[in-house]
Chains A and B, each alone.
Chain A
Amino acid sequence: MSASSVASHQAEVAPPSRWRGLLRRHATMPLLLAAALLVTYLWLRASKLDDIEQRSLNAEHLLRVTRQHISITAMTTLFVVLIAVSGGILLTRPVLRWLTPYATALANVGQATPAIGLLVLLSIWLGIGATTALIGLVAYSVLPVLRNTIVGIDQVDRHLIEAGRGIGMSPIAVLFRIELPLAIPVILAGVRTALVLAVGVATLATFINAGGLGGLIVTGIKLQRDPVLITGAVLTGALALTLDWLGGVLSDLLRPRGLD
């Protein structure tokens, strides 16, 4: 990855050049997204929208569903990170090691079940609404983060951990000063995957009345209104790519220096 080779070029890099490197690596995506949104906007403005389309495609409604979508995704990410990272940490402790295969299997079930099926099953059990959607989405996106946390911690050189213990670091200090910092890039890669998954799957939340951009897509299909469908799809795609981009920037910023 060119990102790491630039970041690790010199430890004494002055801050400005680090920012310049970030800018160079991450400037393209926002420009592309802005262009896509602008084109969609111009196209919508140029076309004649009928009554039904206008009900969906006005600033107020679009903002509301986008905000809903972002908030579902954000909540999902928050819970996924809390559950999966702490779970991954626990599962890599020697005492709980034996549990790891069972936990990954469980997380696999969550992800392997078709998302819409999972949401419907959950809504039969828990009723419809945002909470149910959140639980479904969390179950669906926990796996990549959990697996990457475990892998990320496992790939830390055993000798470093032994050296840490050997010089008298407490187990907690070894975790927070060695294992986690060195696992951060891998964990963040998992979070990025989970985020993008969550944005996509959150479009299904509309089926159990939890709102979000999925509503636009469903309306567009059911009422055969292409502008509505396309707007929903473009906004969902743009959101997913924006979050992926943010994840990339974040993992560059948090990458521990000194790694190859």
Chain B
Amino acid sequence: MTDDVMIELQHVSKSYRGQQTPAVEDVSMTIRRGEIIVLVGPSGCGKTTTMKMINRLIEPTSGRILVDGSDVTSLDPTDLRRRIGYVIQQVGLFPHMTVATNIGLVPKMLGWSRTRIEARVDELLHLVGLEPGHFRNRLPRQLSGGQQQRVGVARALAADPPVMLMDEPFGATDPLTRDRLQNEFLRLQEKLQKTIVFVTHDFDEAIKMGSRIAVLGERSRIRQFDTPEQLLSNPADQTVAQFIGAGASLKQLNLRRVGAIDVDEAVLVRLDDTPTSALRRLDESGEWAVLSVDSERRPQRWITARDLDPQQDTLDGAGGPVTTVELHATLHDALDAMLASSSGATVVVDDAGRYRGVVNIDRLMRAIAEMREMQRNRDRPVTESPEGTATRTPPTQRSGIPATGDGESR
């Protein structure tokens, strides 16, 4: 075992008394430091059971599980769990404790001082995008579902565990919130570099979140354990292909992020500019519209020549609505935003909502073409493994991964 490996499952099985077939049968899997491994499969396939064996909420019947080199059964379960963050779909915030108490529970049990806990709570609330002064003393009931799940993530991160287990963490939120939480979490993960085991039944979520994805069948048997790109282009068998579902090529849009492609520049005007000057800039540029931004460079509206009224003093209120996507949004999100926008283009913004560029349908098509090109190169038998797409995963894990997962290759 190398230093690179964080979690290792060796022939792990779980059978329950009185049940003929085991719930989990002979699963082997190696998880590297800093990876997000997604366990995906139909409900009842044992993916949650597999995950819970890692922090010993469920004890395996046979096999070994190593976390950071030590056999979990040799560790005190409570100590073990304090080093493994845990997030569940139902969030599980304690309703009778404030947000701060919820987050500070584990640090308190670890014997941190009060000032250190308070500082940590505030830091974590900031991290998950909740204003500490506003949320610290609230009760879980007073938060929206998305806010609750953010607090759930903050609580799991409280003692800075190297490993996180997440069981359908965003499953109970509405699609819009889920999307935002996913993006925020990916951004967080870029900073934190945790090793994450993520369980979901939603294949689209798996593609979006995973560095590698294990598609599980009955009894948690691994059907394919691979990168999202490989899964989409080379499903191991019919069942996996069925599970991926229709539109595999469309789903590949989930594999690239807006921040990774080139963006165009829009012609910017400020809200306090005069319509006359805006019209001049529009004419000079030859574009179909200019984009108005506020003093913080946050995009406001698309303004065409028709929207400009020379009688007005400023551009406030002129033009049509703008759709925006964050740098962490996928190309799929960008396509969605474009289709929703009358302009056929969407504005890329940074974390603070400030203008970064514009993506239109031509840009998107070019990005898709690039992706297909890269895929063709990879599928071709080459001696050197291509590194071009390894932006989301450590390059080392690219080479030598067979199309079928570790569990199948035993």
Quick one: which of A159-191 are within 8 Å of B by CB? 159-160, 162-170, 173, 177-178, 181-182
Nearest Cβ distance between residue B356 and chain A, in whole angstroms?
Answer: 37
Question: Which residues of chain B have C-beta atoms less than 8 A from A169's C-beta?
Answer: 78, 105-106, 109
Assembled-state Cα–Cα distance A161/B71 (Å)? 25
Q: A162 near B92 (CB under 8 angstroms)? A: yes
Q: B96 near A181 (CB under 8 angstroms)? A: yes
Question: Which residues of chain B have C-beta atoms less than 8 A from A159's C-beta?
Answer: 88, 90, 92
Question: Which residues of chain B have C-beta atoms less than 8 A from A259's C-beta?
Answer: 95-96
Nearest Cβ distance between residue A42 and chain B, in whole angstroms?
Answer: 47
Q: B88 near A170 (CB under 8 angstroms)? A: no
Q: B142 near A11 (CB under 8 angstroms)? A: yes
Partner of A160, one of B94, B159, B165: B94
Q: A167 near B138 (CB under 8 angstroms)? A: no
Q: B82 near A168 (CB under 8 angstroms)? A: yes
Flag whether B140 is at the interface (Cβ < 8 A).
Answer: yes
Assembled-state Cα–Cα distance A44/B80 (Å)? 72
How many A-B pairs fall under 8 Å by CB? Answer: 81
Assembled-state Cα–Cα distance A162/B167 (Å)? 12
Chain A CB within 10 Å, residue with most, of B80, B93, B105: B105
Nearest Cβ distance between residue A257 and chain B, in whole angstroms?
Answer: 6
Assembled-state Cα–Cα distance A170/B106 (Å)? 10
Q: B94 near A167 (CB under 8 angstroms)? A: no
Known contacts A11-B139, A258-B139, A258-B140; A167 and B96 CB within 8 A of each other: no
Question: Which residues of chain B have C-beta atoms less than 8 A from A162's C-beta?
Answer: 57, 88, 92
Assembled-state Cα–Cα distance A7/B142 (Å)? 14
Question: Which residues of chain B have C-beta atoms less than 8 A from A173's C-beta?
Answer: 109
Q: A168 near B109 (CB under 8 angstroms)? A: yes
Q: B96 near A257 (CB under 8 angstroms)? A: yes
Known contacts A168-B79, A169-B105; A160 and B57 CB within 8 A of each other: no
Flag whether A256 is at the interface (Cβ < 8 A).
Answer: yes
Q: A182 near B95 (CB under 8 angstroms)? A: yes
Assembled-state Cα–Cα distance A173/B96 (Å)? 15
Quick one: which of B37-88 are within 8 Å of A by CB? 55, 57, 78-86, 88
Q: B106 near A258 (CB under 8 angstroms)? A: no
Flag whether B214 is at the interface (Cβ < 8 A).
Answer: no
Flag whether B361 is at the interface (Cβ < 8 A).
Answer: no
Flag whether B97 is at the interface (Cβ < 8 A).
Answer: yes
Q: A167 near B155 (CB under 8 angstroms)? A: yes
Flag whether A50 is at the interface (Cβ < 8 A).
Answer: no
Q: A163 near B86 (CB under 8 angstroms)? A: yes
Assembled-state Cα–Cα distance A163/B105 (Å)? 12
Flag whether B156 is at the interface (Cβ < 8 A).
Answer: yes
Question: Which residues of chain A have C-beta atoms less than 8 A from B81's C-beta?
Answer: 165-168
Question: Which residues of chain B have C-beta atoms less than 8 A from A256's C-beta?
Answer: 95-96
Flag whether B116 is at the interface (Cβ < 8 A).
Answer: no
Question: Which residues of chain A have C-beta atoms less than 8 A from B78's C-beta?
Answer: 168-170
Chain A CB within 10 Å, residue with most, of B90, B91, B96, B109: B96
Question: Which residues of chain A have C-beta atoms less than 8 A from B86's C-beta?
Answer: 163, 166-167
Assembled-state Cα–Cα distance A166/B105 (Å)? 12
Question: Which residues of chain A have C-beta atoms less than 8 A from B141's C-beta?
Answer: 8, 258, 260
Binary A-proximity of B155-187 (CB < 8 A = 1, otherwise 0): 110110000010000000000000000000000
Nearest Cβ distance between residue B141 and chain A, in whole angstroms?
Answer: 6
Quick one: which of B92-141 are within 8 Å of A by CB? 92-98, 105-106, 109, 137-141
Known contacts A163-B88, A169-B105, A173-B109; A258 and B95 CB within 8 A of each other: yes
Known contacts A257-B96, A259-B95; A166 and B88 CB within 8 A of each other: yes
Question: Which residues of chain A have C-beta atoms less than 8 A from B88's C-beta?
Answer: 159, 162-163, 166
Nearest first, the 3 A-B pairs at minimum CB distance are A163-B92, A168-B82, A166-B86
A-B contact pairs, 8 of them (CB 8 A): A159-B88, A160-B92, A160-B95, A166-B165, A168-B82, A170-B78, A257-B139, A259-B95
Beyond the given pairs A157-B92, A167-B105, 4 more chain A to chain B contacts, judged by CB atoms under 8 angstroms and listed by A's residue number, are A11-B139, A163-B93, A163-B94, A168-B80
Question: Which residues of A are interface residues toward B (Cβ below 8 A)?
Answer: 8, 11-12, 157, 159-160, 162-170, 173, 177-178, 181-182, 256-260
